[in-house]
Amino acid sequence: PGAMCPALAKEAPREEGEGGSRRSGCGLLVTAGLGGTLVALYAVATPFVTPALRKVCLPFVPATAAQIQNVLKMLENRSGSLVDIGSGDGRIVIAAAKKGFQAVGYELNPWLVWYSRYRAWRDGVHQNTKFYISDLWKVSFSHYRNVVVFGVPQMMPQLEKKLEEELECNARIVACRFPFPCWIPDHTAGEGIDTVWAYDLKHSRACETKSLEITPKTES
């Protein structure tokens, strides 16, 4: 027995090495498969979570059912054109179209725009909706009477100024999650993250100034 021990000792590492090689090969295959799956998931998911509006960090966060209902509540008794700034997956636009609005969404993320178009077609409102791949800072919203905004605090001051300069006095702006810094809301609905604020632009100082400028010309 003592003579056999060295031989066994020499053979054992070779057997373990062969088994270890097999296990190592399987491990590499599993790792490669898992890595490929993660890469595929990243490729699909990244466009949905990366910032859609590059000027500020505005990731895609889907509107909740309560937020959508609160937005629609702020749009009761109104009609005409509607735009959703940073429309994401199109939930607000589609919900507004179902209420009779000619609704448009602007979104910089092409994946979300394509998905929104598909959802509008699936829900039967594609004829009353349009989705554009565009940066909000490069678009004029002057011909819209109803504006919905899902923003972040960093963008609200500049967006407030942009909308005040572009929109007509009969426009209503509905802000979700975060209010505008200077405007005083005319109406609010919801609570917590589902709160929305509605602003009638006719009550802003800019519109009052426009009216005063127009009055002398009308009288003469």
How many angstroms separate the CA atoms of 4 and 96, rounded? 86
Nearest Cα residue to 179 out of 74, 78, 83, 97: 74
pLDDT at res. 15: 47
The whole-number pLDDT of residue 1 equals 45
b/e 124-140 (16+ beta carbons within 10 angstroms → b):
ebbebbbbeeeebeeee
pTM of the model: 0.68
Q: Scan for tokens 């490929």, then name that residue.
A: 36
**Neighbour order of strands in the sheet with 81-85:** 129-133, 102-107, 81-85, 146-150, 172-176, 196-200, 187-189
Q: Report the pLDDT value the prediction gives residue 63, as an integer from 0 to 100.
A: 87
Q: Which residue stretches of the chain are H helix?
A: 4-49, 65-74, 91-98, 110-122, 156-166, 205-219
Are 179 and 185 contacting, i.e. CB atoms less than 8 angstroms apart? yes
Cβ contact 48:60 at 8 Å? yes
User: 190-197, long-range: CB within 8 Å, 24+ apart, which pairs?
Assistant: 190/66, 190/67, 190/70, 193/64, 193/67, 194/64, 194/66, 194/67, 194/70, 195/70, 196/67, 196/70, 196/71, 196/73, 196/74
Each residue's pLDDT expressed in tens, for the chain with a length of 220 residues: 444 344 434 444 444 455 555 555 555 554 545 554 443 443 444 444 444 444 444 567 788 999 999 999 999 999 999 999 999 999 999 999 999 999 999 999 999 999 999 999 999 999 999 999 999 899 999 999 999 998 888 999 999 999 999 999 999 999 998 999 999 999 999 999 899 999 998 876 455 544 444 444 444 4
Alpha carbon 109 to its chain's center? 9
| Contact (CB, 8 A) for 68 and 48 | no
Q: What pLDDT score does 55 carry?
A: 47
Q: What was the pLDDT predicted at 46?
A: 43
| CA angle centred on 212, ends 207 and 216, rounded to 5° | 145
Residue 202: per-residue pLDDT: 85
Predicted local confidence at residue 117, as pLDDT? 97
- The CATH number for 65-203, chosen from 3.40.640.10, 3.40.50.300, 3.30.70.260, 3.40.50.150, is 3.40.50.150
